[in-house]
Structure 1
Amino acid sequence: MATIAPPNPVQRPQVRREPSAYDALKAHFAAHPEERPKHTNAWDVSRSDIYFDDTWQPIFAEMRKAGPLHYIPESPFGPYWAVVGHKAIQHIEALPEAFSSSWEHGGITILNPLTQEEAEAAGHAPRELPMFIAMDRPQHTGQRRTVAPKFTPSAVTDMETEIRARTSELLDSLPRGVVFDWVDTVSIELTTGMLAILFGFPWEDRRLLTLWSDWAGDTELATVRDLDEMRWSFLQEMGAYFQSLWIERTMDKEPGNDLISMMLHSPAMNQMRPEEFMGNLVLLIVGGNDTTRNTMSGIIHSLDKFPDQRKLFEERPDLIPNAVQECLRMQVPLAHMRRTCTEDTEVFGQTIKAGDKVVLWYISANRDEEVFEDADKLDITRDNARRHLAFGYGIHRCVGARLAELQLKVLLEEMHKRRMRVHVAGDVERVRANFVHGFRKLEVEITTF
């Protein structure tokens, strides 16, 4: 197991390790149920309960049958276009000048940033969180190129030995004949460990990355002033902690190859404002954590739900690479991304006006029957599984996709070597959110095949 110790220790700031975003949100709405966001439109798919209850599939299917995009005039997040068809999403993603990702136009989630007046009413200045995924060209290009070398095919291949060793060690430590939580024991542990290595983050504090990821990735927190204040304070603590790591890297005699060192020595990123530094940390943490963590859990849930496919996986390990793609299609770790229209544009017969919010529901695109036959069924032999949009599409496609795919492939390979069959054997609890799509708890028991 890797141990990361900084050669030039800098005093770490004091940071909280609780509560989790989930616990804070749950406690608040239990005490104030009247403050839960109200949804009046049947097709307003920003409702977090449909993802928590896993009832989103028929709603999106009905919408896709009626057309690839629909205007939703009312929601707790304001009016928006819901783009639900695979082809329509690809079309919009291929027009980044007409459909902006910039934080200055609203950013990448369905949540609207506070206006100057709203911020003043809340008692603080407008809060900005720029990050390269929430930038347009050319700024996006320069910053993405800074971190991209960490995720090239050769760089990812170089990490495989360590990924396989860590995965093997963890799988060998799992209990047999005992029910335990796969999310906490396996999915979180493997992904936070990988993030710690990528950042050169202190190993003993790696679970802070999960804590901060959850606070950063929940859009519903921002709908309640007290929770939004708490969310922002956690992000500021994250920024202060990483600033101490940044200072350490300035003391290194030679530049390191971790993500912080790469940013420090990049002309495109070494003069970032504190808000921009914090924003890019959020991007890399949420992107590196949620995609892999939720798919690691989704794989187990899907194989258990479709026993014929689990049997095929056990008999045909050569299908593992395709099984990874199919499980990414089924799970879709981020449900949506948002764009803002910059000029009146016609898309599939609908006119989207300049300034309109356009929400790309990847979770729906991956179940589009026009692209994927029998789309609600797991099929690890599916010949077009790679057409999924779990990593997005176009210039903003996930920069760490190859690494996520490798981690998932290694997990399945090492499970197969051990003839490990994982059964769902207890509580299954999903994330109550409209952005991150995954599991909070997945109680399982291990047997052999």
Structure 2
Amino acid sequence: MTGVLFRTWEAPAATREWPDVATVADHVGVEHLVVTRHALVRQVLADQQTYRPDNALDAMTPVPVAALRILTRHGFRLPPTLANNGHPSHPAIRAIVAEALHPRRVEEQRAWLTAVVRERVGRLAADLDQGRPVDLYAELAADLPLLVLARLVALPDADAAVVKEFTRAALELFWAPVALDRQLALAEIVGRFHAVLREFAKDGPGMVADLRAHAESPDIVVGALFFLLVAGQETTSQFLTLLLHRLAGEPAVLDGLRAGTVAVDDVVEEGLRLVPPIVTWRRVTSRDTVLGGTPVARGTSVVLWLAQAGRDASVVPDPDEFRPGQRGSRRHLAFGAGAHRCVGAQLSRMEASVVVAETARLLAGAEVVRPPWCPDNLSFRMPDAFVVRRRAVRRCQEASSAQTRQSSSTP
């Protein structure tokens, strides 16, 4: 069961018979109440008084003193701001971030992003035509959301590779089962960039200035930046990679996209339902309650299995099939629900729609060389690569090799 908790994306069909709620112990013996059904997950997300977000960023592996010292040396502090804020300060902070990511401002980036993606896809297609494999994560999806976010929100002047190292380290430090030596390395990466965020929060413009004017403490500004960099770009680059991988195995959907008989937006929603980058999320009970007929004590960690809720047969008729536009497809909970619903939902959707529209033709002629691999993690997929090559090139190479072997064996 512990293994399932950190790899909840691997066998969703095999877990169909899970009860509505189940108690599962993690790798350090802490018990969590896992909620699997769509209606119950939505019920928890809607009730912020009973199921509070306070534990959303708690480290799954307790941070040892040695790692805490590293974080403290860098001035690391993470007060409640967005995902883990159940206090009255949350709506005002959320409103400032939401304005920066307003759907109108997001839509204004579509033309620019389309040009960027089209140029990259053209370059990747040329490489494939030359028989070279390409990594669609590293060469297409990894930094796209960060580039878009930087056009919407003023960010510290740092290389994309540095930001990506920080965000992935944060996801591992707080949400993964981690050995001590790895915790120390992650604490150094996270702490070092947190110091950069703290300096930027002092006089950064735009959204940061608005937060600074409202917040009682600079830590609030830093905390908002911290989570925005994780939720505002890292999760989307992961989703793009996972969606492209799924589409590579859906030739009928790719044909429909190219023919115009399958809507791009329907593909994105079905992808969010089937391969969400955030597979679980946490809440903690503030009082004794009952959930789905199960008594739940105050202080219980509740793990909401968002990915499993998206495959609930009571909501979607074909839960494991990739059928864009099917009834219930858009009722997924990939962005959560309620007061803490993802403030960047429209940004992620826009980015995914551009990438799907521009890569359908590329994927139709490609085969997977190396599928994405994801490390153990409670909530995030974190794919590391997605390598494809042109299918026709492989056939030609195999035919040529066979001809060579035949020639060499002829007397």
Q: What TM-score comes out, normalization by structure 2 length? A: 0.84
Q: Deviations over 1:126-155 (max 9, x none)?
A: 975233210103122121111110222222
Work out which of the residue numbers 183, 186, 192 in structure 1 matches 2:137: 183
Given the alignment of the two structures, is residue 281 of structure 1 paired with residue 225 of structure 2, yes or no? Answer: yes
Q: Secondary structure at the match of 1:351?
A: strand
Contact 1:68–1:85 (Cα < 8 Å) also in 2: yes
Q: What residue is the counterpart of 1:129 in the other structure?
A: 78
The number of residue pairs the alignment matches comes to: 382
Q: CA deviation at 1:230?
A: 2.1
Contact 1:192–1:206 (Cα < 8 Å) also in 2: yes
Task: Give the letter aligned to residue 300 of structure 2.
Answer: D
Task: Give the letter aligned to residue 53 of structure 2.
Answer: S
Q: What residue is the counterpart of 1:148 in the other structure?
A: 98
Q: What residue is the counterpart of 1:27 in the other structure?
A: none
Aligned CA RMSD, in angstroms, stands at 2.8
Contact 1:147–1:262 (Cα < 8 Å) also in 2: no
Q: What residue is the counterpart of 2:364 in the other structure?
A: 421
Q: What residue is the counterpart of 1:392 in the other structure?
A: 336
Q: CA deviation at 1:109?
A: 5.7
More displaced stretch, 74-83 vs 183-192: 74-83
Q: What residue is the counterpart of 1:25 in the other structure?
A: none
The 1:198/1:145 distance shift into structure 2, 3 A limit, reads: same
Q: What residue is the counterpart of 2:165 in the other structure?
A: 211
Task: Give the letter aligned to residue 387 of structure 2.
Answer: E
Task: Give the letter aligned to residue 184 of structure 1.
Answer: A
CA–CA separation in structure 1 for the residues paired with 2:32 and 2:177? 18
Task: Give the letter aligned to residue 218 of structure 2.
Answer: M
Work out which of the residue numbers 245, 257, 278 in structure 1 matches 2:200: 245
Q: What residue is the counterpart of 1:3 in the other structure?
A: none
Q: What residue is the counterpart of 1:97 in the other structure?
A: 49
* Structure index of larger Rg: 2
Task: Give the letter aligned to residue 428 of structure 1.
Answer: P
Q: Secondary structure at the match of 1:430?
A: coil
Extract unaligned runs of 5+ from structure 2: 393-411
Contact 1:344–1:352 (Cα < 8 Å) also in 2: yes
The 1:119/1:352 distance shift into structure 2, 3 A limit, reads: farther
Q: CA deviation at 1:349?
A: 0.4
Work out which of the residue numbers 39, 45, 55 in structure 1 matches 2:4: 45
Given the alignment of the two structures, is residue 85 of structure 1 paired with residue 28 of structure 2, yes or no? Answer: no
CA–CA separation in structure 2 for the residues paired with 1:193 and 1:302? 24
Q: Deviations over 1:181-200 (max 9, x none)?
A: 11100110312322333343
Q: What TM-score comes out, normalization by structure 1 length? A: 0.77
Matches within 5 A, 1:329-344: 329-344=273-288
Matches within 5 A, 1:301-316: 301-316=245-260
Task: Give the letter aligned to residue 87 of structure 2.
Answer: R
More displaced stretch, 338-347 vs 218-227: 218-227
Matches within 5 A, 1:369-448: 369-415=313-359, 421=364, 423-432=366-375, 433-445=377-389
CA–CA separation in structure 1 for the residues paired with 2:352 and 2:26? 39
More displaced stretch, 230-239 vs 352-361: 230-239
Extract unaligned runs of 5+ from structure 1: 1-41, 250-255
The 1:196/1:308 distance shift into structure 2, 3 A limit, reads: same
Q: What residue is the counterpart of 2:114 in the other structure?
A: 164
Contact 1:422–1:444 (Cα < 8 Å) also in 2: no
The 1:244/1:203 distance shift into structure 2, 3 A limit, reads: closer
More displaced stretch, 124-133 vs 186-195: 124-133
Q: Secondary structure at the match of 2:325?
A: coil
Contact 2:284–2:299 (Cα < 8 Å) also in 1: yes
CA–CA separation in structure 1 for the residues paired with 2:70 and 2:115? 47
